[in-house]
Structure 1
Amino acid sequence: MKSILILTDFSDAAFHAAEYACALATQMQCEKVVLYHAYRSFVPTTDLPVSPVKDSGQLGRESLLLLEKLAERLQGKLPGDTEIILRTDDVVLPESLNEICRREGTELVAMGITGKSRLEKMLIGSTAIDVLKSSDYPVLLVPPAASIAAVKHIIFTTDLDDTAEDTPLPLLEQLFGSLQAQLWVLNVTPPDKGYDPETKNQLATLHALLDRFAPAYEFIDEHDVVRGIMGFAQQKDTSLIVMVHKDQGLFHSSITQKLAYRTLTPVITFRQR
């Protein structure tokens, strides 16, 4: 991965996420980061004609000035040869995200996330979770309490379901190969599910896909999948959680959403292949 799109709304949480993304970009030796802000000059709420509060051009100029200030704050957190690009558009972000990534040539999307209060969870539902649902690209979610340091321990968590078909191996290879961190492969399964012959076949497939990265494997029986992931992450002092976001099955969107609400560890989600 040689480029990261960093989404910002200029909040403290967004700045913290940008700092973390810059540290990750440095470790992965990225060639460029794109600081991106999406604004709307007018969002209609009725069928009646209403004049926009601000001109789109004015909002664009204001956004660009804020991006320039953000770039100045982040300048010293990246190697001198890493290109910083500033972009701002009058668009609705989730719907436009994939087009933006294609246009900018970015391979990873980074954003901040909060979620302790009920209101914050509602906001997550309309921002970060919508980004996860819409993005064809890997998404990095950075909680406010995440430490900004080199990634030394990674958990790749899997449900051992359709492993070969769903695992975006080339993207995982790029991530694991560039970070050179200790890799744990974690499976959290409800105790009543058990491991049938097909699960064992899926595990053999996973070994064939990932053993080049010398991972350690761990299996946990836990009804609450998210609690199992978080507990293991805390036990191993994990720097990063990686998971494949699926449309159905054990790792469907509700699991991803709960993990986003509760985790203290940054999470990268990949869309199933």
Structure 2
Amino acid sequence: MKKILVLTDFSASSYNAAQYANVLATQRGTSILLYNTVESIPIVPNYAGGGFVTETENLFAEESLGQLTQVRTSLLAEQGKGPIIEILTGEGNLGSNIKKLLNEQAIELIVMGAPEGSLINHLLTGSETRSVIKSANRPVLIIPGDKPIKPLNNFVLATDYRSADLCALRYLSAWIAVIGGRLDVVHIQTSDEVPQLTAQQRQVFELFLNNLSFNNFQCHDLQGKDIRDRLDRFCQDKKADVLAMINYHHDFFSRLLGNSQTFKELRHLQLPMLVFPGNFNDETTA
């Protein structure tokens, strides 16, 4: 059975993300793996000139497992009959641990919370979030800390219409087909950018969409100077539950997280964000 990996630090925002994952796992027929990383404890030199590992590390791991058990108990109490929930604790660097988990476990999606406030600001400054996105070859769903729990049915995918985006599109269409949702595919370009989209690129993308066993989608273009308000209004008009993007270097997502003032102004958006890594291959989640 496929799993949703839920990263938790036992904060309120991470519990909110776990509640979202509970709903998603029920929708998608997957199990949940609750995961927490504890700090590595350095070797402390002893008086004889050798070294020993303190017992503190074991205490941290035991405490982590105890808290994970409490989170699982709370989720199970809320859901009644729902997905299987496993727990696991790891030690050391979160990014390295994520890579190891993805190699060893049948994980198709990673879910994590962001603190209250601006989700985009968290993406710009949250080192753990950026580490997870950089390390993962699976989609990462980031939930704002104060977002009320609800099913995720309507998706907006921001894309450059490049062929590599088709894996993300196929993954989303399969997800939405199961839950009966809707997909709006939007190409965003500011007025001062040189157009990079060719008619052939768009034709290939739309042909791919038309050949999917899924027809509840539309393609859109957003252009102009005030992209912030236009994208905000677009997501509101479409009653979007999730904003999805693909994380490539030197493209829309990197501009969003980089120095472009236009895209920094998107920080006020409070939708859950689904980030696809640039090396995502949906066949690895099949």
TM-score, structure 2 normalization:
0.80
* Aligned residues: CA RMSD: 3.1
1:128-176, Cα deviation, whole Å (9 max, x unpaired): 122112211110000023231122311111122xx21343255334323
1:263 aligns with 2:262: no
1:187-266 aligned within 5 A: 187-193=187-193, 198-211=197-210, 212=212, 213-214=214-215, 215-223=217-225, 225=227, 228-252=230-254, 254-255=256-257, 261-266=267-272
Between structure 1 and structure 2, the one with the greater Rg is 2
Q: 1:71 maps to what in 2?
A: 72
Contact 1:168 1:272 in 2 (8 A): no
Contact 2:13 2:116 in 1 (8 A): no
Cα deviation, residue 182, structure 1: 1.3
Rounded Cα–Cα distance in structure 2 between residues aligned with 1:54 and 1:69:
23
Q: By how many angstroms is 1:53 displaced?
A: 7.5
1:17 to partner: Cα distance: 0.7
Shift of 1:216: 1.4
- Identify which range, 140-149 or 35-44, moves more after superposition: 35-44
Determine the structure 1 residue equivalent to 2:178. Answer: 178
> What is the match of residue 168 of structure 1?
167
> Secondary structure of 1:60's match?
helix
CA–CA distance in structure 1, aligned partners of residues 277 and 124 of structure 2: 22
Q: Which runs of 5+ in 2 are unaligned?
A: 44-49, 280-286
Deviation at 1:85, TM superposition (A): 0.6
Give the equivalent residue in structure 2 for 1:19: 19
Q: Map Cα deviations across residues 111-140 of structure 1 (whole Å, 9 max, x no partner).
A: 0012648xx849943111221122111100
Distance 2:135 2:53 in 1: 27
8 A Cα contact 1:35 1:85, kept in partner? yes
- Larger deviation, residues 167-176 vs 106-115: 167-176
What percent of counterpart residues are identical?
Answer: 24
* Structure 1 segment 1-150 matched on structure 2, within 5 A: 2-30=2-30, 32-42=31-41, 55-78=56-79, 80=81, 82-114=83-115, 116=117, 121=122, 124-150=125-151
- CA drift at 1:13: 0.5
SS at match of 1:252: helix
Helix, strand or coil: the match of 2:107?
coil
Moved more, 206-215 or 17-26: 206-215
* 2:13 partner SS: helix
What is the aligned partner in structure 1 of residue 283 from structure 2?
none
